[in-house]
Structure 1
Amino acid sequence: MNNIESLTDLFELVGCKASFYDIGRHVSKITPAQVIQFDKKQQPYPYAFKQQAWLAILLHPLKAEQDAEPVIWFIRLPIDEKGSINLGTRDHLIKSIVDRILNKDGSTDISDALKDNPYAFQPDHERMASFHAALSVQFKKDASSFFDQLVTYLESDLNEEDTSWQALGLQGIADLAVRANQAKYLPLIKKAIEFAPHPVAVALAKALEHERPEDDYLSFIETIYPTRGNTEWRAALIRSVSKAAPSERLLQSIKLSLVTGENQATDDELQLIVAIVAKCPSWFNTDPELLSLTMENLANRNDGYVAFSQIASELSHTPVVRGSLWSLFRGENRSPKLTQAIGSLFTKAPEQVQ
Structure 2
Amino acid sequence: MNSNISTLGELLEAAGTQWRAYDIGRRITKLDKAEFTQIELGARPYPYPLMGHAHIAIQFWDKNATQDPYVWFLKFPIDEQSKLVLATRDHFANLVLEALGTELTSEDADGKLDNNPYVFTPNANKLAAFNALMKVEIKRPASQYYEAVENYFHAPLIHDWQTLAVQGLADFAMRLEHGQNQALLQSHWQVLPGEVQNTLAAMLEHVAISVSITELLSKSIDDALENQNKAMLINSLRAISGSSSKGILEKCVDNVLDSVFATDIEILLILVGRLWQTFILPERLYALLDNAAQVSEGDFFAGVFADLVAIPALRPQVLSILRAPSRDETLSRAIGKLFNA
**What TM-score do you get using the length of structure 1 for normalisation?**
0.86
What corresponds to 2:175 in structure 1? 179
What corresponds to 1:290 in structure 2? 284
- Please say if residues 193 and 202 of structure 1, whose CA atoms lie closer than 8 Å, have aligned partners that are also in contact: no
What corresponds to 2:221 in structure 1? 225
Alpha-carbon separation, structure 1, partners of 2:29 and 2:130: 9
The percentage of aligned residue pairs carrying the same residue is: 28
What corresponds to 1:257 in structure 2? 259
What corresponds to 1:329 in structure 2? 322
Pick aligned residue for 1:319 from 290, 312, 318: 312
For 1:177, give the aligned amino acid.
A
For 2:268, give the aligned amino acid.
I
Residue pairs, 1:129-144, within 5 angstroms: 129-144=128-143
* Consecutive unaligned residues in structure 1, runs of 5 or more: 349-354
Report whether the alignment pairs 1:21 with 2:59. Answer: no
Cα 1:152–1:182, aligned 2, differ >3 Å: closer, same or farther?
Answer: closer
Report whether the alignment pairs 1:11 with 2:12. Answer: yes
Alpha-carbon separation, structure 2, partners of 1:280 and 1:134: 21
Alpha-carbon separation, structure 2, partners of 1:110 and 1:170: 28
Q: Deviations over 1:14-38 (max 9, x none)?
A: 3433322221111122222222221
Report whether the alignment pairs 1:345 with 2:338. Answer: yes
Residue pairs, 1:76-225, within 5 angstroms: 76-102=75-101, 109-156=108-155, 158-159=156-157, 164-182=160-178, 184-225=180-221
Cα 1:21–1:151, aligned 2, differ >3 Å: closer, same or farther?
Answer: same
Which shows bigger deviation, 45-54 or 89-98? 45-54
Q: Deviations over 1:225-278 (max 9, x none)?
A: 121232232122112121232425423321232566xxxx2xxx2111101111
Which shows bigger deviation, 208-217 or 32-41? 32-41
- Please say if residues 253 and 271 of structure 2, whose CA atoms lie closer than 8 Å, have aligned partners that are also in contact: no
- Please say if residues 60 and 69 of structure 2, whose CA atoms lie closer than 8 Å, have aligned partners that are also in contact: yes
1:312 to partner: Cα distance: 0.4
Pick aligned residue for 2:302 from 305, 309, 333: 309
- Please say if residues 77 and 86 of structure 1, whose CA atoms lie closer than 8 Å, have aligned partners that are also in contact: yes
- Please say if residues 192 and 201 of structure 1, whose CA atoms lie closer than 8 Å, have aligned partners that are also in contact: no
1:342 to partner: Cα distance: 0.6
Alpha-carbon separation, structure 2, partners of 1:179 and 1:192: 16
Alpha-carbon separation, structure 2, partners of 1:332 and 1:14: 55
Could you say what secondary structure the match of 1:172 adopts? helix
1:51 to partner: Cα distance: 2.6
Alpha-carbon separation, structure 2, partners of 1:38 and 1:191: 43
- Please say if residues 47 and 313 of structure 2, whose CA atoms lie closer than 8 Å, have aligned partners that are also in contact: no
- Please say if residues 129 and 170 of structure 1, whose CA atoms lie closer than 8 Å, have aligned partners that are also in contact: yes
- Please say if residues 165 and 200 of structure 1, whose CA atoms lie closer than 8 Å, have aligned partners that are also in contact: yes
For 1:216, give the aligned amino acid.
S
Alpha-carbon separation, structure 2, partners of 1:258 and 1:334: 22
Structure showing greater relative contact order (alpha-carbon pairs closer than 8 Å, 6 or more residues apart)? 2
1:2 to partner: Cα distance: 4.6
Could you say what secondary structure the match of 2:21 adopts? strand
Alpha-carbon separation, structure 2, partners of 1:301 and 1:125: 30
The RMSD of aligned alpha carbons is 2.3
Alpha-carbon separation, structure 1, partners of 2:73 and 2:178: 29
Count residues in correspondence: 331
**What TM-score do you get using the length of structure 2 for normalisation?**
0.89
Alpha-carbon separation, structure 2, partners of 1:34 and 1:11: 16
For 1:253, give the aligned amino acid.
N
1:43 to partner: Cα distance: 2.3
Alpha-carbon separation, structure 2, partners of 1:51 and 1:345: 17
Could you say what secondary structure the match of 2:188 adopts? helix
Cα 1:100–1:154, aligned 2, differ >3 Å: closer, same or farther?
Answer: same
1:112 to partner: Cα distance: 3.1
Could you say what secondary structure the match of 2:258 adopts? helix
1:182 to partner: Cα distance: 4.8
